[in-house]
Structure formats: structure tokens, C-alpha cells
Amino acid sequence: MFIDIAKIYIKAGDGGDGAVAFHREKYVAAGGPDGGDGGRGGNIVFVADKNMNTLMDFRYKRKYVAKDGENGGKNKCSGANAEDLIIKVPLGTLIKDAQSGLIIKDMSDGQNFIAAKGGRGGWGNQHFATPTRQIPRFAKPGEPGEQRMVQLELKLIADVGLVGFPNVGKSTFLSVVSSAKPKIANYHFTTLVPNLGVVHAFEDKDFVLADIPGLIEGASSGVGLGTSFLRHVDRCRLIIHVVDISSSEGRDPIADFKAINSELKKHSDRLSSLPQIVVGNKCDIAYDMNAIEKFKDYVTKLGYPFFLISAASKNGIKEVIAKTVEMLDNLPDTLIYDPEITINEQPVKKTAQDFSVNVHDGIYYVEAEWLPKIMSGINYNDFESMNYFQRVLRNSGIIDRLEQMGIKEGDTVNIYDFEFEFLK
């Protein structure tokens, strides 16, 4: 099954907690603090895989969580860093912010991309020893890993796109110029997914050709299959516009040509400005020569190269391929989209600024997703550890919020069932 859009949740691993430990050794009376640091959490890394051509793997699995770093140990032993979680996607996949739809990364350059960074490990108590604080009984917890919802959108990488109404012979054309084996039949919409084929034109002149499922009038607004697959011609450098010239279905070639170009323009200004080669297919069964000449005059006056072919009998195919290679040599490289948003601009549940304060029966309740992690590393019986906790509350803005809400000295503050009296 061809899947080209998927929305997934990614979360990097949390950093390991620093350790609270003291050196114990025979004949060493006061070894001092030796708690090790926590390890780094695993990153979420996207890797472009040339052997993949669909996002089918993301249809059923939509949550990807990297492992957490290991906690620190005694004897200044640091916890191990967690392995990165590798997510493979097809070459040409766009990674977008799910909420805004803005592009984070275009996986067309073959470079690995870290979409969510693992949290740093917390410091062990060895780092908090000072001449006046020689036995620190607290350590830092690891930082949480980044997390976000992203949308994956596949835009096939092809040099040339085949466009045209259903049943005009695009799939037959692809099958005779490449080794691709698309479904071919004498009825509309036999092609339901984009097909790619590599065309070996000359010894050193290869290009990738994409057969896009048949477009119809209204495709850009959701009619037929166009709304799903127009995106796959976005990257193309050149368009081969296939028109049924035989009039076997009673269609007007000029009207069909205008309709398809109109849909391309509605979808993207860039598509409408791409160079085109116009191909009149099924010339071997054509009976209205006047209609053919009229259509030829129309497209050539617009400046498009025009060829009469019969894809079924391979008549005229070589001339089209030769012209395609000639035009590609003078066109820019395949389009690669620039990022529209950097990783630091995206909403990441990592900062210590997200909290809520509510008052019930005179008690101030403080809640924040990041607080339990901090509190797990606090020694409430240690003066220095409590000073550190107080600094966290002050630096995060919680103390300021409490004062803005009118808290008075002696009032009770509850943070996840840990209660204390507020002192100024």
C-alpha cells in the first residue's frame, strides 16, 4: 500500500540522574562526595533510505520514544549514554511541525537529521562540594528529552513528471522507456499510486521519470486522485504532458491540455512555470488529422516542443527521450526545500516555564510536568539541597507567581503532596 502522509509522536530520552554517594575506603576517614553524573538520553534521528518508497511503516506505529540515559553511580562513575533511536524514511520525505505545517527538514540531501535531542545527564554530588559545603547530600536530576508531534510528507524525487488525463497512455509510456511495471489496462484510473522508473537514455544520461495517477478537472480542489498525488510532481524539473490525440473517447485535446495546465497552476505557481514537452499519444489509431494539426499548431505557438507518438508500438519514443535529455541538461537541479522553522522555534515541552498555580481552601497548589523529576533529586533533610530547590522555584517564576496571587508568609504551598509554609 502506498502511504505518503503520516503523523507521529517523537520523544528523545531523558538524561540520567546524578548520584548522591560518598567515598568509602578502608583507612580513609573522610573520602568526600563521589557521586557520578547521569548519562545523556538518546536522540531521535531521521535517516533517508533510498530503498524505501512509502511511509507504510508509520501507519500502525505512531509513537517513537528513545531510551533514557543511565543514572550515575558511586566512585564518580558516570551513567552510560543511551543509544539514538534511528527512524528510516524514504528519500524525499519532508519533516513538518504537525501544528503549524511548517517544514523542519527536507530529507532529500541524504544527511541524517536529529529531530529531538536527548536530555543531558544530571550532575552527581561530586560537583557540589565547596570549602564550606563539604558533604553535599543532593545531586541534579537529568533533563527531559525533547518531544514533539511531526508530520511526514513524501514528495517523490523525480526529474520528469508524466501528467495527463486518465487512460491517455502514461503508464504504457513509462513501461516502454524504463524497467518499471505499472498496471496497464484500457479503462480509467488503472494507476492508483505514483510509479517511478529510471530511464537509461544514453551511456551516461539517466533520469528518473514519475507516472502520476490520472488528473481530472478539479483535481487541485480534491476531485479524483489529484489532491493526493499532485505533490509528487512538485520537485520535477520537467513535465511530459501526455494527451490522447486519437479522439477515441470523443475528447477535445486542446480542452484537455488547458484543463490539466489549469490544475497545475491552481496547485502551484512553480508547476505551471515548469517547462513541458507535449506528447500526442495514440497517433496510430487517430482518424481526425485536422484535429491533430489544430492541436499541434496550438501548443507550438505556446512555445512547447510537440511530438506524435504511439507508446504501445514505441513509435516516436526515441525522439521524446532525446529531447528530454537535451532540456534536462539546461535545467536546475532537483528542488530541495529550505527549512521554514528551526528546531529551536518549535514548541518543546522542555523548559521550566510551564506550570500552574491554583488556590483551594487557602492552600496554593503548584503543578508542572517537570517538577517531579526535580523533586526526586532533593534531600529535604539537607539544608543545601533545600536551598537548591528554592532557587529552582525562584528561577522558574513560581515564587513570583505566588506573590502575584497574594500569598502571605505562613500560607501553605502544596507541590505534589509536599507541603511547606511560605517564607519571604
- In a domain? residue 401: yes
Cα within 13 Å of Cα(234), Cβ side: 20
Going across the sheet that includes 44-49, the strands are: 85-90, 44-49, 113-116
Picking from 156, 177, 194, the residue at the C-terminal end of a domain is 156
- For residue 190, is pLDDT > 50? no
Task: Provide the CATH number for the domain around residue 177.
Answer: 3.40.50.300
Using the predicted structure, report yes or no on whether residue 350 has a pLDDT greater than 50: no
Q: Are residues 314 and 404 in the same domain?
A: no
Residues 303 and 253 grouped into a single domain: yes
pLDDT at 161 over 80: yes
The answer to whether residues 133 and 97 belong to one domain is yes
**pLDDT of res. 352:** 45
Amino acid in the structure at residue 347: P
- State whether 258 and 239 are in the same domain: yes
Share of the chain above pLDDT 70, in %: 89
| 84-100: pLDDT as tens digits | 999 999 888 999 999 88
Residue 69 included in any domain: yes
Beta strands in 108-262 (DSSP E): 113-116, 147-154, 160-163, 195-202, 205-211, 238-244
Query: pLDDT digits over 111-124, tens only?
Result: 999 999 999 998 89
Q: Are residues 150 and 19 in the same domain?
A: yes
pLDDT mean across residues, the chain: 83
Q: Residue 220: what pLDDT?
A: 43
Domain final position from 156, 174, 199? 156
216 and 364 belong to one structural domain: no
Q: Are residues 232 and 152 in the same domain?
A: no
* Least confidently predicted of 278-282, 349-353, 397-401: 349-353
Instruction: Cite the DSSP H helix spans in 178-288.
Output: 226-229, 253-267, 269-273
d(CA 164, CA 168): 7
CATH number, domain of 411, equals 3.30.300.350
pLDDT for residue 212 is more than 60: yes
Residues 196 and 252 in one domain: yes
In the predicted structure, residue 181 carries a pLDDT above the cut 70: no
Please give the helix or strand (H or E) that residue 414 lies within, else none: strand 412-415
86 or 153, greater pLDDT = 86
In a domain, 247, yes or no: yes
Q: Which pLDDT value is given to residue 349? A: 43
pTM above 0.85, yes or no: no
Looking at residue 215, its pLDDT comes to 58
Burial class for 69, CB neighbours closer than 10 Å (0-12, 13-18, 19+): buried
The CATH number assigned to the domain holding 25 equals: 2.70.210.12
Highest mean pLDDT pick, 248-257, 267-276, 292-301: 292-301
Which residues, 6 or more positions from 61, have their beta carbon under 8 angstroms from its beta carbon? 8
Residue 348 lies in a domain: no
Residue where one domain finishes, among candidates 133, 156, 179: 156
Asked if 113 and 204 sit in the same domain, the reply is: no
Which residue shows C-alpha cell 491554583? 358
Q: Are 219 and 225 in contact (CB under 8 A)?
A: yes
Q: How confident is the model at residue 214 (pLDDT cuts 50, 70, 90)?
A: low
Our count of domains for the chain comes to 3
Residues 142 and 246 occupy one common structural domain = no
| Domain shared by 285 and 194, yes or no | yes
Q: Under a CB-based contact definition with an 8 Å cutoff, are residues 87 and 45 in contact?
A: yes
Residue 241 lies in a domain: yes
Q: Classify residue 335: in a domain, yes or no.
A: no
Position 336 in a domain? no
Question: Residue 309 sits in which domain range?
Answer: 160-328
Residue 169 lies in a domain: yes
Is 398 in the same domain as 415?
yes
Most confident of 64-73, 266-275, 305-314: 64-73
Residue 287 has pLDDT above 70, yes or no: yes
Summarize pLDDT for 220-260 with one digit per residue, the tens: 444 444 445 567 677 889 999 999 888 777 778 999 899 88
Q: Mind listing the pLDDT tens digit for each residue in 359-406? A: 998 899 999 888 887 887 787 877 777 888 888 888 888 999 999 999
What is the helix (H) or strand (E) element at residue 46, kind and residue range?
strand 44-49
Tell me which residue has cell 523548559.
Answer: 351
Over 70: is that where the pLDDT of 218 sits?
Answer: no
